[in-house]
Amino acid sequence: MAKDEGIHLNADGTALIVVNGSEIKLRRPTLGEYGDLIDQVDADRLDMIVIFDRLSGIGKDLSQLRTVDDPEQVEDKRRQLKTERQTVRDITARFLTAVAKTLGSGDIALLDDPDRAPVWRSDPTVKDRLIAHWEAAPFPGSAAAPT
């Protein structure tokens, strides 16, 4: 039976990404891989703080420009807003792509193809959910591990 599109977290710490019928199987990360992925998450969070500060500034500028009759300035700020939002999506998406390239087998290229990649690839909660999944998965061979 085919699984629904999305990320399916398995009790053994593995995961399955399903997009348009294509599958990417993710194994559990090794300690070193996990550390590298956590380092990337930390770096991404720092990037996001800077971006959200810029977004806040752009929002304030747009609010002030509502009282000024300068469509060119307003349009410039809207372009900046669009660029920053795209940067947020790109940062979020690169984590899932890195996970797939490091831990995955299957049609990994689909995550880099904007014509095939799902919108949820850019969901900022994906990285936290995957990390929590790996941290919560039982040790292989333990009584809590599935057989």
pLDDT along the chain (147 residues), means of 10: 83 91 92 93 91 86 74 85 87 89 89 83 87 84 53
DSSP string, 13-82: S-EEEEETTEEEEEPPPPHHHHHHHHHHHHHHHHHHHHHHHHHHHHHHHHHHHTTS--HHHHHHHHHHHH
Query: What was the pLDDT predicted at 36?
Result: 94
The model's pTM: 0.75
